[in-house]
Chain A
Amino acid sequence: MTDQTDSPARSTRLDIDRLLADTSIQVILCCGSGGVGKTTTSAALALRAAEQGRKVVVLTIDPARRLAQSLGVEHLDNTPQAVTRIEAANGGSLDAMMLDMKRTFDDVVSSHATPENAQQILQNQFYQALSTSFSGTQEYMAMERVGQLRKQAEETGRWDLIIVDTPPSRSALDFLDAPEHLSSLLDGKVLRLLLTPTRGPMRLMGFGVKMMTDVMNKVLGSQLLTDVQTFVTAFEALFGGFRERANKTLQAFSSAQTQFVVVSAPERDSLREANYFIDRLLDTKMPLAGTVINRVHGSRLDLSISRTQVLIDELDPETQRVERLTLGRHLNRMTIIEREQRMIASFADRLPQVPLQQVPALATDVTDLTSLRLVGTLLAAQQ
């Protein structure tokens, strides 16, 4: 970097190759706010791990079309497919899949219930809303699917590393909060009070409760509440409670076999989200590998903003037009670099204990295995 820029010196480097080589790590979760290149990072990590000998499955949520094509997962079929054309060494392999949340949910129901019970749940109106459009379902189903893949990996030995691209929510925290929120709604006291308002603490409020349940029925419609009741009863009987299941799934992520990689862009909004998320991981003692900051601008030309400006002023606008314009663009680039590095430094300053890796911006979109491989190289590069 230049003499103008403070490098985030106090953070250690996130050593991607060491992370991928550690066979005790079985799951890597890539989290971050939307639009920061999470999917590309997940795919690049998966490819690199496979080509270094890990047996990898990557679970993507909503990949860009051309990235999906390069992985061969353009069809949403919820089942891992082998990615051919990789340069695997030492028995490494790469499978890729795209999450189908409705199908994952249906599978959970079908595999635990008798056919009749399963049918009853699957046809429930509320279940259909829950499994397709409920906020939080995608996050919860991503976790479920990881759990299934883990079980399958243990049984068959097909994979020794699962890499997960988390859903494109506004906030990275949604991934951790959604299952708990969902389960507390369906398993919680509110539902019980609403379904049997004459018992429990609300009874003491007498008239108020009656009025409230009336309002709830009016606002939500009594059919919806009946559907919810039927669903929860059927579901609870089968699985011993939604909450327990969600908590268990989440707990599985707290072990050292799992590592979180927080992905961000060198912009204020996504760094702030990354900061929130890391605080939460640290508070709840979740295993954090470090932060990847994507699309960081860099320069091969060691020429500071002020020196560039001096040079530009010395050039003749007529005869040296192209040189002036070119240096003008370098000046612009250095200004962007300075802005980004200032933000990264302030981020690293707040979290000096968290390893960090900056990944340079690529000139073109990632569209094939070659460019994905390049991203992997950049992810692991010494800086």
Chain B
Amino acid sequence: MTEADGPAHLLHVVTGKGGTGKTTVAAGLAWALATEGRRVLLCEVEQRHGISELLQIEPLTKSQERKLDRTAAGGHVFGLSINAEDALMEYLETFYHLGLAGRAMDRFGFVDFATSIAPGLKDILLTGKVYEAARRKLKGMRNAYDAVVLDAPPTGRIIPFLNVADAVSDLAKVGPIRRQADSITAVFKSRHTVVHVVTLLEDMPVTETLEAVADLRKTGFALGSVVCNRVTRTPFTDAELELAVKQELPLNVPGFTDEQTAGVKYELAGEANQIKDERLCRQQLVDHELPLVDIPEIAAGIDHTTINHVARVLAKALAQEVNP
């Protein structure tokens, strides 16, 4: 149950409910995709330095691409933090040649005003930068990336965010904004783009995942994988887990007091219960025939070890993407 066969994708959009580890999975995916000689861009939009905090590096600023790492496999990962104000300035400069006047607009708060009263405009500016970075490959440009990974907004906002052409239909009927929105949506809905949904095997995230998947399909976006993050691993058989839930798994640790035996049984029962719940949640995803990737929880997981761990799991599960 891994990624369906097919061409590797250029743009990987990663969404998920808040708190599911979306940024970590996006970073892990970028690292996994950066195999020998490949250049991968990891983008974030409007976040308080999610990538730099995760990697514990200097914040990415001014919407500029910066090399983050050379991966063990010999590829390169770049980072980009996209900010709507910078993008609007750049846009005004490109299409209207507003130099100083553009900066004056910013000073008077016009940019904040414009992007706030027309949320669709903000999304065009943000997705426009992602689109531009992804399209370099299609145009055969020298600074092209082999893959672009977008740490996208959470599941609740992902459809309007990606479907910018719809969002601006009331806003701009003609002109550069309209054309830009149409081109962005065309690439996002093309065979070059795939959307991954990160979830935990818990009630709420799974419900949101199912809703998001249905909405993505309805709107015409291709689903990549549903990434189940922090899955509890177990070395026990199903029969043993059943006994463990009831605290009836026979246990005889030499030197343990009755109290210690009871303590460890209680602890194991808690974990066995959690595994049961996780499996029920996972079954819901299986029932919907979704392409699942499980990322096991790692106990000591912090910082870069987690990214490498996620990258290893994804590299194996998405072999088609990683070794095109």
Given A303-B260, A335-B300, decide whether A185 and B112 contact each other with a Cβ distance below 8 A: yes
Asked whether A220 lies within 8 Å of B171 as measured between CB atoms, the reply is yes
CB contact list, A254-288 vs B, under 8 A = 265, 268-270, 272, 276
10 new A-B contacts, CB < 8 A, other than A34-B17, A185-B116, A322-B240, are A34-B19, A188-B109, A190-B113, A191-B113, A208-B100, A212-B105, A303-B260, A314-B254, A315-B254, A364-B277
Hey, which chain B residues are within 8 Å of A10, CB to CB? none
B18 in the interface (beta carbon within 8 A): yes
With both chains docked as a complex, state the minimum distance between the C-beta of B273 and any C-beta of chain A, in angstroms: 4
Task: Write out the residue numbers on chain B whose beta carbons fall within 8 Å of the beta carbon of A215.
Answer: 92, 96, 98
A199 within 8 A of B: no
Contacting pair B113 A329 (CB below 8 A)? no
B236 & A325 in contact (Cβ 8 Å cutoff): yes
Query: B299 and A170: CB pair below 8 A?
Result: no
**Cβ–Cβ < 8 Å partners of B171 in chain A:** 220-221, 224
Once the chains are docked, how many angstroms separate the CA of A361 from the CA of B195?
Answer: 31
Residue contacts A-B, CB under 8 angstroms, 26 given: A33-B18, A34-B18, A66-B203, A133-B119, A134-B116, A190-B109, A190-B113, A191-B113, A208-B104, A216-B110, A219-B121, A220-B171, A221-B172, A265-B19, A269-B50, A300-B262, A302-B263, A314-B254, A323-B251, A323-B252, A326-B249, A326-B264, A329-B267, A330-B267, A333-B267, A364-B274
Give Cα A134–Cα B115 distance, bound, in whole angstroms.
11
A89 to chain B, nearest CB (A): 31
- Decide if B302 is an interface residue (CB 8 Å cutoff): yes
> Is A299 positioned at the interface, with any CB of B under 8 Å from its CB?
yes
- Expressed in whole angstroms, the Cα–Cα distance for A326 and B264 within the complex equals 8
Residues in A neighbouring B286, C-beta threshold 8 A: none
* Interface residues in B, total, Cβ within 8 A: 69
Say if the beta carbon of A181 comes within 8 Å of chain B: yes
Question: Are B117's CB and A224's CB within 8 A?
Answer: yes
Say whether B209 faces chain A, with CB atoms less than 8 Å apart. no
Partner of A185, one of B50, B104, B113: B113
B8 to chain A, nearest CB (A): 30
A301 lies within 8 A of B113 (CB): no
A211 interface residue per 8 A CB criterion: yes
- Residues in A neighbouring B114, C-beta threshold 8 A: 216, 219-220
User: Which chain A residue has the least Cβ–Cβ distance from B88?
Assistant: A219
Taking a contact as CB atoms closer than 8 A, the residue among A64, A181, A276, A333 that contacts B204 in the complex is: A64
* Shortest Cβ gap from A334 to chain B (Å): 8
Assess whether B270 is interfacial by the CB under 8 Å rule. yes
List the A side residues contacting B254 at CB < 8 Å: 314-315
Q: Are B253 and A327 in contact (CB under 8 A)?
A: yes
Chain B residues with Cβ below 8 Å from A332 are 299
Which of A129, A193, A220, A328 has a CB less than 8 Å from the CB of B235? A328
- Distance between Cα atoms of A228 and B116 in the complex (Å): 12
Determine the interface band of chain A, counting residues with CB < 8 A from chain B. 35 or more
Residue of A nearest to B122 (CB): A135
Contact B235 A181 (CB under 8 A): no
A190 touches B110 (CB 8 A): yes
A311, B254: Cα distance in complex, Å = 9
B47 touches A301 (CB 8 A): no
The verdict on A354 contacting chain B, using a C-beta distance below 8 Å, is no
- For chain B, residues 99 to 137, give those with C-beta under 8 angstroms from any C-beta of chain A: 100-101, 104-105, 108-110, 112-114, 116-119, 121
* B20 interfacial by beta-carbon distance below 8 Å: yes
Q: Is B53 close to A, CB under 8 A? A: yes
Residue in B48, B116, B263 whose CB lies within 8 Å of A181: B116
Please report the C-alpha to C-alpha distance between residue A281 and residue B271 in the assembled complex, in whole angstroms: 37
Instruction: Tell me if A224 and B267 are in contact (CB < 8 A).
Output: no
**A168 an interface residue at 8 Å Cβ cutoff?**
yes
Q: Does A218 count as interface, using CB distance less than 8 angstroms? A: yes
Question: Are A212's CB and B203's CB within 8 A?
Answer: no
Among A66, A194, A269, A320, max chain B CB count under 10 A is at A269
For residue A189, which residues in chain B have a CB less than 8 angstroms away from its CB? 108-109
Task: Decide: A322 and B104 in contact? CB cutoff 8 A.
Answer: no
Task: Report the separation of the CA atoms of residues A299 and B249 in the bound assembly, to the nearest whole angstrom.
Answer: 18
Partner of A170, one of B154, B249, B255: B154
- B154 / chain A contacts, CB cutoff of 8 Å: 34, 170
B153 closest partner in A (C-beta): A170
Distance (whole angstroms) from the CB of B129 to the closest CB of chain A = 17
Q: Is A339 located at the chain interface by the 8 A CB criterion? A: yes
Residue-wise interface mask of A (94-127) relative to B, using a CB-CB cutoff of 8 A (1 in contact, 0 not): 0000000000000000000000000000000110
Residues on A with beta carbons closer than 8 Å to the beta carbon of B160: 133
Flag if B117 contacts A220 (CB, 8 Å).
yes
Q: Tell me, in angstroms, the Cα distance from A196 to B173 when the chains sit together.
A: 25
Q: Which residue of A lies closest to B264 (CB)?
A: A301
A198-218 interface with B by 8 A CB criterion: 202, 205, 208, 211-212, 215-216, 218
Chain A 42-84 near chain B by CB (<8 Å), digits 1 or 0:
0000000000000000000000111000000000000000000
Determine which of A211, A221, A302, A329 lies in contact with B101 in the assembled complex, contact meaning CB atoms within 8 Å: A211
**Which 3 A-B pairs give the minimum distances between C-beta atoms?**
A35-B19, A34-B18, A335-B299
Complex interface residues of chain B between 41 and 74 (CB less than 8 A to chain A): 47-48, 50, 53
